[in-house]
Amino acid sequence: MKKTYFMIAAMTACLSLPMLFTSCGSDHDDGIEAINTESSVVRMELSLSGDYARFNPIVSFHAWDLKGKGMDIRTSTGKDVNMMWDIMYEDSPFSTAAAQIKGSYSAFYATLILSNADAQDGKVSVQATVYKDEKVIRHPTLDIDIMPTDGNISIGYSPEEGFTRLN
């Protein structure tokens, strides 16, 4: 069992590396509020609905500052951690997970892994809500159709890039 947790954590880290180099902000005005300011508090929530409990979700949040160092993250469980936080449904059932950071960042993203070890089908909906100083600035939804032939499904989310299927 411990080997499974290690493999999932390692897979999360490897699959989320492409998102490490996403940029924050933009040079043009696209009508979307800029996120990255020195004194702002940014909170990201992932809410799951549908058949998610059958797929033992794991959510991981990562944050780096402008110098590439891990940032302090305030979790929805009230913990303060540095750079990375994982929550596993099997250990602590949840439908919403959130992380909050303060200040400028080079990367802030979440990874969701759904495990289909029992070859089931189902539908999972993921809502990502991003707050800047308690004001909602992003609120996209992703619907995932899971087939019996799907193994692990990995989804990444960053406020700047939106949802990305990682496998």
Task: Supply the CATH number for residue 108's domain.
Answer: 2.60.60.60
Please give the residue range of the domain that contains residue 53: 2-17+37-165
Instruction: Look at residue 22 and tell me if it is in a domain.
Output: no
The number of folded domains in the chain is 1
Distance, CA of 74 to chain centre: 14
Q: Which residues of the chain have pLDDT under 50?
A: 1-31
Identify the DSSP state of 78.
Answer: S
The reply to whether 24 falls in a domain is no
Q: What is the distance between the alpha carbons of residues 112 and 121, in angstroms, rounded to a whole number?
A: 17
Residue type at position 69: K
CB half-sphere exposure, 77, CA atoms < 13 A = 13
Domain membership flag for residue 50: yes
Q: Is 28 contained in some domain?
A: no
What are residue 72's DSSP bridge partners? 82
Burial of 137 (0-12, 13-18, 19+ CB in 10 A): middle
What are the pLDDT digits (tens) for 122-149?
A: 999 999 999 999 999 999 999 999 999 9
The pLDDT score that the predictor gives to residue 39 is 81
